[in-house]
A and B are shown apart, each in its own frame.
Chain A
Amino acid sequence: MKQADPSSTGRLSRRDFFKGLGTTAVAAAAAQAESVAQELQKLNTEKVFGPGPVPVTLKVNGKTHRLELEPRVTLLDALRNHLGLTGPKEGCDRAACGACTVWLDGVAIYACQKLAIDAQGHEVTTVEGLTPDGRLTPVQQAFVERDALQCGYCTPGFVMSVSALLRKKPKPTVQEVLHACAGNLCRCGTHPRVLEAALVAAGVRPVSMTRTEVIPHV
């Protein structure tokens, strides 16, 4: 596609855009108005935004939200304080604890170390987005049954990490679960049970790290 010259407003207009396309492309583009808008948006993205609040469009859990945010606002801040999605938690704000884990296009990231403005054009999924109808997913069910939670503050992050793993590797090994969850911290000590729950949810025989026997004292 030829680079079209920006119009005098500094923005590429629809007319200029179409002028730069071949005939076939126009037909195809016309049929997909959405992708044209996206292309248009892309061609205008060398625009400088901020430092004050600017329009930021975020697609979260399948819904589109239009916010006014400064570029320095993190995705986590936007989710929690601007969209009221408090599932992802703030534990450290430094990409070290995983309490803020969300999916960006289906892979786990730290929402605290991603700018909201930099997450535009992507699909964000929070823990709330795993259960739109309120029913527990197999991972969540396994967490409850195996008691892979205590205070629960780290739990949404772990659920997102484990769920992301199972999408990629439906029958993970123990090592793969450990590798996928290395970036999630817990202070209450749920670790052995997170491992169990991940394997149970995957339908893999759990190598139970915690064995217990309650015996009477006589």
Chain B
Amino acid sequence: MSEWPAQLKVLGTRVPRVDGPAKVTGQAKYTSDVLPEGVLIGMILRSKWPAARILKIHLDKARQMPGIKAAVAVQDGPRQVRYYGEELAAVAGVSRQACEDALRAIEVEAEPLPFVVREEDARKPDAPRVWEQAPNMPPPRVQETGNVDAAFAECAAVIEGFYATPVQLHHPMETHGCTVLWNEEGITAWASTQGIFGVRDGLAGALRVDQSKVRVITEHMGGGFGSKFGPGVEGILAARLAKEAGAPVKLMLSRFEEALAVGNRPSSFQRIKLGAKADGTLHAFEFENYGTAGVGAGQATEGGGGGADLPMPYIYRVPNRRLKQTTVAVNAGSSRAFRAPGHPVASYGMESAMDDLAVKLGIDPLELRIKNDPSEIRQREYRIGAERFGWKEKYRKPGSSPGPVKTGVGVASATWGGGGSNRTQGEVQINPDGSVEVRLGVQDIGTGTRTVAAVVAAEVLGLKPEQITVKFGDTRFPPGPGSGGSVTSPSVAPTVFDACTKALDQLQKQTGIPDARGENWHVACKKLGVTPLVVQGQWRQGLSSSGVGGVQFAEVEVDTETGLVTVKKIVVVQDCGLVVDPLTAESQVNGGVIMGIGFALYEERVMDWQTGVVLNPNFETYKLPGLADVPEIDIVLLNMPERGVIGLGEPVHIPTAAAIANAVANALGVRINSLPITPRKVLAALGKIPAPKTPAA
């Protein structure tokens, strides 16, 4: 039972984002907008070789170029680079143009080495090794429960399928980077980050400065989706350049660089064998998967996320199962945590297999899930969603819709944690004029957590959200968690609740006014005299929890003559405990769904096996959904106040691609077994492509 008051005045109402006006007028300053006095531009030189021994980097010419104030190599002495785009050196100069010219003047002595960039090539025993000391693909980890082989023999229906997903790039609209300034106090860094304390500690360690002398500021940043934890190589280079130049340095990556070196979601090649008894109960599950995390395979990756392993059999419980998973290294940028790491890929594989099994059993795919899903919340979500979506009316046997443009429907589900961090602290300042400031060392990465804080403070203090000034994103404020794992709202809300409750308490005690809220507010505050009241608070139990479900239904149209897939409608039924602000929560849902549409239909990082480069390092050929690609999105939020606040940024991204893939398979009667589902693949699956006359090399 949650400790939130039963009668809520502000919480749960639709409150516009408190930083909305600043953002729509262009007044909000993002990391890339910060321009301290005398700031220089920093730029990175990157490896053109997908693998090479770097012998020497000559910086003298670059240092002498007009306008250049500093030049550093990432590492002195010989070293090895392992992907196209790996950082080699950096310069700082008075303008972009000066830096571009200086980069061209850097000479690199290198011995190119053999390389491999495709998973299927890297797995071969004679493939060039990405890391000399280890094979590209270690033997799989095996997990077994029950007796799989016997269990399959007992099944009434067994399917075997292959499902693959590509490497997906985060591509936040603001690139990675930061501005670093040194002065007598130490280092100040404005970073585009999801975790200011992680950046602080990373810079302090790399530059050998006390953590107390490093301050990181992130007032506004343009998205991260998991890729922006830690200072990154670019942050440390910016700091080193600033030190050498004796001036602040702004180093923001280009869009091109974003495709190479700052993280991605690992690919997957999933082989699934799934069997059920005659009544539809899942009985046996065999799973083999490999995928690539780039050079990060087996290495710790920033922000977690690990290798390419998947949590299977995802939301379902199957008593007999065997899993074999491994990660294959290729000469490409390392993966990083990406919005619900592992889950969208696992959901895609598992939910595709479930649909294929349902077809084999001859039963409605939704019925198969209702039969097997152990989650009570999701059971409720299936029922609500099915009615909302019109599943019974819309579901047809696969491929049975008439006409060249076929419609189909699909469903898929999610599970996620999203609990709060008990290491969160905050403070509230009540001023004698009645104004209130809330300060936390967390960052709003676009999720609306500033508004969450304002709403909670307003609720407790009996004010309106507009009366609360929220200050985030400064390591001088009380510490909070990085914005990942959907933990921010469940961390911030209880903390602000705690701080404001304590502050109200103290205000009332100090001023002798038993209830300082409402009409008494200004009178009470005035009694503070000249000293504002500053009260610390911290995360407390009972106001948040973790563990959410989430179900999504998709309706698609597939033009079987051109192959074009159009998503017509997505219905989302999502729980997230206590809904703090439905307006911003819906936006999060939209965001997860639209990113899922991108994953399903448009996005893939393409490597060229001949040269080892990323072939699509831009938005022209790495395709993101635009307004015309976005369908009707119908959202039902299950409000569960008794569970307290739970984060929802990630669960809403998990099942979308799976639902769309199932809808396409339902429309066509045949499955396209890899994402993205492009017109090319649709036409191939329909058998419409004549065999090439010239054999492939």
Contact = CB atoms under 8 A, between A and B. Distances in A.
**Chains A and B belong together in one complex:** yes
Interface of A: 70, 72-73, 77, 80-81, 84-94, 96-97, 99, 126-128, 130-131, 134, 136, 140, 143-145, 147, 149-156, 159, 177-178, 181-182, 184-195, 209-217
Query: Which 3 interchain pairs have the tightest Cβ spacing?
Result: A87-B26, A151-B446, A189-B591
Nearest to B625: A191
A91 B33 CA distance: 12
A147 B17 contact: yes
Contacts of B429: none
A72 B589 CA distance: 42
Interface in B626-654: 626-628, 630-641
Interface string B75-100: 00000000000000000000111000
Nearest to A180: B627
Interface hub of B30, B175, B446, B624 (most chain A Cβ within 10 A):
B446
B590 A192 contact: yes
Contacts of B618: 92, 94, 96
Contact of A150 (B33, B579, B587, B593): B587
A72 B98 CA distance: 11
B23 A155 contact: yes
Contact of A214 (B171, B225, B254, B579): B579
Nearest to A197: B24
Q: For chain A, what secondary structure do more than half of its interface residues adopt (helix, strand, loop), or is it mixed? A: loop
A155 B591 contact: no
B575 interface: yes
A189 B380 contact: no
B223 A187 contact: yes
A177 B584 CA distance: 23
A147 B173 contact: no
Q: What range describes how many residues of B lie at the interface? A: 35 or more
Contacts of A155: 23-24
Nearest to A216: B639
Given A185-B624, A192-B590, A193-B587, A210 B633 contact: yes
Interface string B226-254: 00000000000000000000000000101
B35 interface: yes
Interface in B576-627: 579, 582-584, 586-595, 618-620, 624-627
Contact of A188 (B220, B384, B446, B632): B446
B222 interface: yes
Interface hub of B579, B584, B624 (most chain A Cβ within 10 A):
B624
A152 B220 contact: yes
Contact of A191 (B172, B590, B620): B590
A189 B587 contact: yes
Given A92-B619, A151-B221, A212 B636 contact: yes
B186 interface: no
A189 B594 CA distance: 6
B457 to A, nearest CB: 20
A118 B17 CA distance: 38
Contacts of A89: 30, 32-33, 173-174, 222
